[in-house]
Amino acid sequence: MENQRLLVYLSLALVLFMIWQAWQQDYGPVNQPGSAAVESRPSGEPSPADDTPVPGDIPSVPRAELEQAPGPDAQTIRVVTDVIDARISTIGGDIVQVKLPTYPVSIDEPDVPFTLLDDSAHVYIAQTGLVFDGDASGRDADELAPNHHAPFSAGSEVFELKDAEDELRVPLRWTGPEGVTVTKTYIFRRGSFLVDIEQSVENAGAEPWIGRQYRQIRHGPVAEDSGPKFISTRTFTGAAYFDGKYEKESFDDIAEVPLRKEIDGGWVAMLQHYFVSAFVAGQGEQSLVYTKAVRGRLGPEYLVGLSSVPQTAAPGQSITFSTRLYTGPKLQHRLSAISPGLELVTDYGIFTVISKPLFWLLEKIHGLVGNWGWAIILLTVLIKLVFYKLSETSYRSMARMRAVQPKLAALKERYGSDKQRMNQALMDLYKKEKINPLGGCLPILVQIPVFIALYWTLLESVELRQAPFMFWIHDLSTKDPYYVLPLLMGITMFAQQKLNPAPLDPVQAKVMMALPFIFTVFFAFFPSGLVLYWFVNNLLSILQQWVITRRIEKQAR
């Protein structure tokens, strides 16, 4: 089959198209719904202005309150640890900013920490609060429990983890009517991106206090991708939750159909490339996962949250609601230790079963060599060894096809445009020469899932963020700034093409000549770590194919 090589490259082109299509569908620019989309709800759903859970789970905060910025009494408390620089608002006790000093915003700005949560340029904040579930007797239930609009007080404007300390507690206090006080305490720990949150209710009144806690992450609109329009480098930004199974909710999904689902344990999160913010429920805790779209300062905003079951504080007693908030990089080992399934926010897609072992192996190699670039090269060698026999079968088939090229040309000249006789003659020739027409395609097709899995491994793993290799490659997670690696990859692709049998059809020959240039353009926008893998893989393939081709040609003499 003279076009078998074309099938191989077209298969790889299909892989690239599938990756590009997946980017566009799952991770491409999000079409933000306008006000009409936010207001659109099935019959019986709450107003989109509501952003605080109430009994029966749905909030009732006036729209005017949402559209106003915090009042003049709002203050910001700064909390500083070795890995977190946070801001907490006294209105609601919300975490309105989190900077990560150990993760610079870029290699060129090593002293500027990456900002994860923020309420200035855009809205991305973590909110907690309580809602009153008892009989309000005609009173406003919001007065009987502090939601994320309630005013808190703090004993200091700055809390800093001292060198000799491993834990930092940040208490905020709310005083309500009828002798009810609530102390919301944030507990930060050295070296940890996980924050414990306790909401203690002291009931000094004469009536029982019944209420529940909620915690929600709020995210505003996402800016359009400014990269090349023919390929997107945006990863998924949206909500996720775990109820025994990892589930994602895009902002469009949230705006269209709000979610309400009861779970045991689990977590809810907002995802973005390399980083995550997640509220984690207690083990076995019954909660209600909810999502909704609300109207915010800059347009639609999207919530994902957990609402607990009610608890009762009898007169003279106190109760404590607890939860945990992780806000930091997607470090899989840490995340898996916090809650089952939380490591899945490093989303490798349908090839997770392959990507996770690849990352494990890559991490082990990195532990030995101390450089992610060299780890990728050694991983490439190991993958090549695993598929050595399959590749050998493919290259043997291609070498035999190359050896019979003169006979194929003679058959084409003899039968001309008589396709039926030409095909029959080809089959007879293949049978005589013991050539499997698909022998060059199938072994390579088997390797395609590994290529895709490695692609997601290199794209999603935060460990490769700003990881240097050598020379001009200072960040393996981004494209080569000088496009040297893609050009080298294209050259090796062209060289490999020369070792294969040339198509007899001139049109196919032209297409084959164009493929290395097309792939070079595609790979120019891929992470340099992935291009490094493909370049090294091509070099090893050329070496293996050259040896096998020379061996077959000697046998044919």
* DSSP state letters, 494-519: HHHHHTSPPPSSHHHHHHHHHHHHHH
Q: Are strands 85-89 and 95-106 parallel, antiparallel or unpaired?
A: antiparallel
CA distances from 509 to 1, 489, 505 (A): 14, 20, 6
**Ramachandran sector of residue 92 (left: φ over 0; alpha: ψ -120 to 50; beta: rest):** left
Q: What is the pLDDT of residue 122?
A: 81
**Number of helices (H), then strands (E), in the chain:** 14, 20
CB contact at 8 A, 255 and 109: no
Question: What is the secondary structure of 150-170 as a DSSP string?
Answer: SB-EES-SEEE--TT-SEEEE
Q: What is the pLDDT of residue 382?
A: 93
Q: What is the pLDDT of residue 225?
A: 54
Q: How far, in Å, CA of 520 to CA of 274, rounded?
A: 26
User: Position of tokens 């093409």?
Assistant: 497
pLDDT by residue (tens digit) across 223-234? 665 444 444 445
CA distances from 386 to 55, 398, 399 (A): 58, 20, 21
Q: How far, in Å, CA of 328 to CA of 326, rounded?
A: 6
| Amino acid of residue 266 | G
pLDDT by residue (tens digit) across 380-433? 999 888 888 777 776 676 666 766 777 777 777 777 676 777 777 777 777 776
Q: How far, in Å, CA of 404 to CA of 556, rounded?
A: 10
Q: How far, in Å, CA of 124 to CA of 115, rounded?
A: 10
Show the low-confidence residues of the chain (pLDDT under 70): 1-73, 136-140, 223-234, 394-395, 397-400, 402-403, 416, 418, 433-444, 446, 500-509, 511, 552-553, 555-557
3-state secondary structure at position 74? coil
User: How many other CB atoms sit within 10 Å of the CB of residue 169?
Assistant: 11
Question: What is the secondary structure of 236-279 as a DSSP string?
Answer: --EEEEESSSEEEE-HHHHHHS--EEEEES-EEEEEETTEEEEE
Q: How far, in Å, CA of 47 to CA of 62, rounded?
A: 9
Q: How far, in Å, CA of 371 to CA of 46, rounded?
A: 53
Q: How far, in Å, CA of 178 to CA of 145, rounded?
A: 11
Q: What is the pLDDT of residue 249?
A: 94
Question: What is the secondary structure of 383-437 as a DSSP string?
Answer: HHHHTHHHHHHHHHHHHHHHHTHHHHHHHHHHHTT-HHHHHHHHHHHHHHHT--T
Please report, in angstroms and rounded to a whole number, the separation of the first and last CA atoms in the chain.
23
Q: What is the pLDDT of residue 546?
A: 81
**Residues 454-490: b if buried by 16+ CB within 10 A, e if exposed:** bbbbbbbbbbbbbbebeeebebbbbbbeebebbbbbb
Q: Is the pTM of this model over 0.85?
A: no
314 alpha carbon, distance to own chain's centre = 45
228 alpha carbon, distance to own chain's centre = 20
State both tokens at 62. Answer: 């006036």
Q: What is the pLDDT of residue 498?
A: 75
How does DSSP classify residue 557? -
Alpha helix (H) residue ranges in 320-371: 332-338, 352-369
Q: What is the pLDDT of residue 224?
A: 60
Taken in order of first residue, the domains within the chain and their CATH numbers are: 4-19+357-556 (no CATH), 54-67+75-222+235-347 (2.70.98.90)
Q: What is the pLDDT of residue 200?
A: 97
State both tokens at 101. Answer: 């000093």
Name residue 367's beta-bridge partners: none
3-state secondary structure at position 205? coil
